[in-house]
Structures are given as structure tokens and as C-alpha cells.
């Protein structure tokens, strides 16, 4: 099952609020039926803001050229999101079979977070992005880029 977030717009249409939703819906043939389980998403503005940040950072990230067993390994936005989340301190740990520690990113289930927790997540991820990806940006620069994107999306 794929989960995407939609927003109601003028005329009553539902449109995806992030690129993953746009990509998913683009694969559905015109006239095809879909079955949806609908739940109210109370965090659409926050969702749009944090995914705009994710998109800006991912697009700017210059991933190293890496191969595994002779195969090129491409950058992946889901792995990038997980890494940002872990580096921001939002993770769980578990012991693996070989005794090493595995870090797993906590969910971005915004409905389960209060506003203060959402802002802690967002600000922590901004700090990681500024330290590791957009090192020539200030917080104000990045805030302005995100604000411009959000104004454009409307």
C-alpha cells in the first residue's frame, strides 16, 4: 500500500502535496479507478514545509560516485530522508545479529507529533542540512528558499 498526502484545492480536486505523490499518481492511467482510505491530515502546511526542505537539500546534495560489486549506486531520496532524520537525532537503536548497532529513523508521522515536536524535528533537520549539504547557506538563506517554494506551490 502506498500512502500519499493530498490537499483539497479550488474546484474540489485533491492534489498531491509532495513529489512522491505526484510521481505515484503519474503512473496511474487516465480513467483507471483507485481505492482510497481517507483520513484527515491536520499537518498539511508543516508537511509541505518539511518536504520542500527535503527536496531542496536532496537536489543540492552532490552524492559521491559509489559502486558496489561493479554496479553504480544512485542517490535515493528515501535513504537521504532517513539519514537526515538520524543525524538530526530522531532515531531508534537496535542490536544486530552480528553485535553491531543499527540506527533506524523515526517516522515522520506528523499527526502523532505536537507542534513543538514538529518544530524540533524541522529545526534539527535544518541544522544537519546546513552542516552537511548547504554549507554555504545561512539559516535565513534557507528559510527564504523554502518560503519562496511554498509561495510558488499555491
Q: Do residues 114 and 43 lie in contact, with contact meaning Cβ atoms separated by under 8 Å? A: no
Give dist(CA 58, CA 67) in Å, integer: 20
**Which residues of the chain register pLDDT less than 50?**
154
pLDDT at res. 42: 62
Q: Where are the domains of the chain?
A: 1-39, 42-153
Which CATH number is 42-153 given?
Answer: 1.10.3790
pLDDT at res. 109: 78
Burial (CB count <10 Å: 0-12, 13-18, 19+), residue 120: middle
Q: Which of 33, 114, 17, 52 is nearest to 3 (CA)?
A: 17
pLDDT at res. 107: 85
Amino acid at each position: 500500500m502506498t500512502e500519499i498526502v493530498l490537499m483539497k484545492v479550488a474546484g474540489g480536486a485533491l492534489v498531491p502535496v509532495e513529489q512522491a505523490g505526484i510521481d505515484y499518481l503519474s503512473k496511474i492511467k487516465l480513467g483507471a479507478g483507485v481505492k482510497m482510505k481517507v483520513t484527515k491530515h491536520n499537518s498539511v502546511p508543516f508537511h509541505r514545509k518539511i518536504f520542500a526542505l527535503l527536496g531542496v537539500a536532496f537536489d543540492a546534495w552532490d552524492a559521491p560516485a559509489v559502486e558496489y560489486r561493479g554496479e553504480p549506486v544512485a542517490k535515493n531520496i528515501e535513504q537521504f530522508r532517513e539519514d537526515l532524520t538520524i543525524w538530526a537525532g530522531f532515531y531508534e537503536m537496535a542490536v544486530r545479529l552480528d553485535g553491531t548497532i543499527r540506527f533506524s529513523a523515526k517516522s515522520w508521522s506528523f499527526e502523532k507529533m505536537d507542534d513543538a515536536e514538529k518544530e524540533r524535528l524541522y529545526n534539527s533537520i535544518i541544522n544537519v542540512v546546513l552542516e552537511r549539504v548547504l554549507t554555504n547557506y545561512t539559516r535565513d538563506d534557507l528559510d527564504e528558499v523554502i518560503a519562496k517554494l511554498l509561495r510558488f506551490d499555491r
